[in-house]
Chain A
Amino acid sequence: MRFQQLLHVRRLASAGATTLMRRPITTTTITTTRRTALAATYPAFATTVRTMAGSGAPIPELTEITDNVQRGNYATLTDKDVAHFEQLLGKNFVLTEDLEGYNICFLKRIRGNSKLVLKPGSTEEVAAIMKYCNERRLAVVPQGGNTGLVGGSVPICDEIVLSLARLNKVLSVDEVTGIAVVEAGCILENFDQRAREVGLTVPLDLGAKASCHIGGNVSTNAGGVRVVRYGNLHGSVLGVEAVLATGQVLDLMSNFKKDNTGYHMKHLFIGSEGTLGVVTKLSMLCPHSSRAVNVAFIGLNSFDDVLKTFVSAKRNLGEILSSCELIDERALNTALEQFKFLNSPISGFPFYMLIETSGSNGDHDEEKINQFIGDGMERGEIQDGTVTGDPGKVQEIWKIREMVPLGLIEKSFCFKYDISLPLRDFYNIVDVMRERCGPLATVVCGYGHLGDSNLHLNVSCEQFNDEIYKRVEPFVYEYTSKLKGSISAEHGIGFLKKDYLHYSKDPVAIGYMREMKKLLDPNSILNPYKVLN
């Protein structure tokens, strides 16, 4: 097992060395609204290209081989199967060539070997595909925008890729109730634009906005930078329609906030990463978009001051607080070193916070945030910073936060962890890890969604090596587990973390997960090799 993991991570080294911005090909981690501002200044940002083998980056080895994956007991695709699908969907929507963009994951860590991509145009077609595959014992991987970070959306062996890309319509947006009904393959940003046309917004915002699908977001219970304000998708999603592995359509759509009738089965499809069913449609409660947005970028001298400032933000900005992000000195400096166009308004502090407010009255909000800053300075917690309500400048500040993860993978190999930890112990792991790695690591840093207790712990080194790997894992999972944290706060389990699930879920729970999987997908054809091992 360890050998498998080693190989696995080793490939990440080449992925890390080939990412982003070295070529005029950027990934999807910058939202379009923000990218527009970036593109004006930096032409490299103007194009968004999905991670594809054609990008010129080295193609990883087949995961089946590098990770020594035992292929499940599934049938092998035949010409007859392809002909069946062509008849079902039409030839244009059955792809058998140039499939690398579907086979390789966003980080270029995983490469499957699928020979077939299906692009159904309706729930009925999805159902017909699943029914056929279930009868034939053909394995299937549902795929949205393929922006996941744990290898959940790509085939591991030769699973058929079921792309939801054609199910991309926003079916309705009700400005009175705030409820929108949307198909799974709608790109998050397009969905948000439609919502904004009637003064609403999608309660989810994340870096991959311009290419991720709302169905994928729901299937992975994606987090992002607004969870502190709007909660996670278990609250926002009112209903889903899912196609089960058997081809049955499970209609759990609801247009009401309140619906206590029976078991709340929709939640099974939020965050189960396509292993229990294929989400084809959903309804979402969209809040009204905020007229006034202010952002403060703050320098602090200690993590203790960070916590005090967080508490103060909750207390004094609670009703308008829409983001509360932490960036440590090393994370910021790495981004500033890698991207010379970035300007930080302040420097020389061990910690930085990005605090955003969104409200309905600019004057009131500005007064609240200025008061919050003034009080923080008076208590000596806030040392230095900048605050703005100008939309262009708000984006300038967000740009700093968004470039942080990219800076770390620009020129190094990077071990990336996405963990939830109790806030009191939130940052200790970064120092502990730095000490453990010593000179083996070039950068050990932390940033992330402080408001959600979600830390992105990063360990960079010049290139992958066994010595540092053994110091990092499984220590990071053991440490997180001891603090009752989560080993995957928002990225999910997918393929990459399935061996570590037990660090965050007890055996009884995992046992019932297996039972549920068996009940809903008796032949285990849906997204195999993921979540459960």
Chain B
Amino acid sequence: MEDYKFLFKIVLVGNAGVGKTCLVRRFTQGLFPPGQGATIGVDFMIKKVEVEGEKIKLQIWDTAGQERFRSSTQSYYRSAHALILVYDISCQPTFDCLPDWLREIQEYANSKVLKILVGNKTDRDDREIPTQIGEEFAKQHDMYFLETSAKEAENVERLFYEIAAELIGQARSKDGSSSAAAAAAQRQSEGSSIGLGSFSAKAAQSNCCGGLASGGSNSSQGG
């Protein structure tokens, strides 16, 4: 940790086959593994990135989709800073399950956890869930929203860098101000509109994200 100012834990959840592992492998290794089998358990990995001039470590936990609704405590949720809930835009059932996942998140995760809804597989031409529907669902549930394609590497880096930037912002606001709690509370109460708005706005500014992306590829991952 000596060189790294922040370490954030990000957990990916969602139905089996929505592309969680592909998103992670695309981000950490820059590849799209063809014919990816089901994730054995919960995969964990470290990715070092640089965001806003800060060296940070992302600790990413990629859960096996079919292990959902287990009776155990899902202890990997508890200390998560961000939760990425993934569905497949070409597969309605994966979207229909989102409320179940949210219930699980509510039960096990920290209430202040950063939640991001991701509609993956935008490369597919058999879309079943329009962007707007995903966006509305995210807004209703106080989540950020982004559509991605792990296959085409679309919005994948942006996803993780935005999360990192947001978490740095949160951490700084806690560090820097004596009214950190108040700030956090305000963030919570203002809820989705500010959160979603800022994330979407950032997501729309491709220059900003491109800059971050190119500056942050000092990964030691994968050897």
Contacts and interface: CB of A to CB of B under 8 A. Distances in A.
Nearest to A294: B41
A393 B41 contact: yes
Sorted nearest first, the 8 A-B pairs with minimum C-beta distance are A388-B41, A367-B75, A348-B223, A384-B45, A386-B43, A386-B41, A363-B73, A393-B40
B79 A374 contact: yes
A387 interface: yes
Given A374-B9, A378-B7, A383-B221, A388 B42 contact: yes
A127 to B, nearest CB: 52
B45 A374 contact: no
B91 to A, nearest CB: 23
Interface in B62-109: 64, 67, 72-73, 75-76, 79
Interface string A370-412: 1101100111101111111110010011000000000000000
A301 interface: yes
A366 interface: yes
B46 A386 contact: no
A393 B67 CA distance: 11
Contact of A379 (B1, B39, B44, B220): B1
Given A348-B223, A370-B75, A389-B72, A377 B41 contact: no
Interface residues of B, number: 25
15 contacts: A348-B223, A366-B73, A371-B75, A373-B44, A374-B9, A380-B57, A383-B45, A383-B46, A383-B223, A384-B45, A386-B41, A386-B42, A388-B64, A393-B41, A397-B41
Given A370-B42, A377-B46, A384-B222, 13 more contacts: A345-B40, A363-B75, A366-B75, A370-B76, A371-B75, A384-B45, A386-B41, A386-B43, A388-B41, A388-B42, A388-B64, A390-B67, A397-B41
Contact of B1 (A346, A363, A380, A383): A380
Contacts of B79: 374
B8 to A, nearest CB: 11
A390 B223 contact: no
Question: Main SS of the interface on chain A?
Answer: mixed
B37 interface: yes
Nearest to B4: A380
Given A367-B73, A370-B76, A380 B43 contact: no
A387 B42 contact: yes
A349 interface: yes
Contacts of B7: 378
B170 interface: no
A379 B2 CA distance: 9
A371 B75 CA distance: 9
Give the interface size bracket for A toward B.
Answer: 20 to 34
A378 B59 contact: yes
Interface in A247-265: none
B118 to A, nearest CB: 21
B44 A377 contact: yes
B59 A374 contact: yes
Interface of A: 295, 301, 343, 345-346, 348-350, 362-363, 366-367, 370-371, 373-374, 377-380, 382-390, 393, 396-397
A373 B46 CA distance: 11
Given A343-B37, A370-B75, A384-B221, A378 B44 contact: no
Contact of A386 (B9, B44, B59, B223): B44
Contacts of B57: 377-378, 380
Contacts of A362: 72
Contact of B41 (A349, A367, A374, A390): A390
A328 to B, nearest CB: 13
Contact of B46 (A295, A348, A350, A384): A384
B122 to A, nearest CB: 27
B72 A384 contact: no
Contacts of A382: 44, 46
A377 B223 contact: no
Contacts of A295: 41
B74 to A, nearest CB: 8
A397 B59 CA distance: 22
Nearest to A373: B44
B73 A385 contact: no
Contacts of B42: 370, 386-388
Interface string B1-35: 10000010100000000000000000000000000
A378 B43 CA distance: 15
Contacts of A389: 41, 72
Given A363-B73, A388-B64, A301 B41 contact: no
A349 B76 CA distance: 24
Given A301-B223, A349-B223, A374-B9, A384 B44 contact: yes
Contacts of A349: 223
Contacts of B43: 345-346, 384-386
A370 B46 CA distance: 14
A379 to B, nearest CB: 7
A269 B73 CA distance: 47
B30 to A, nearest CB: 13
A348 B33 CA distance: 15
Contacts of A345: 39-41, 43
Contacts of A387: 41-42, 44
B59 A348 contact: no
Interface string B190-205: 0000000000000000
Contacts of A384: 43-46, 221-222
A253 B57 CA distance: 58
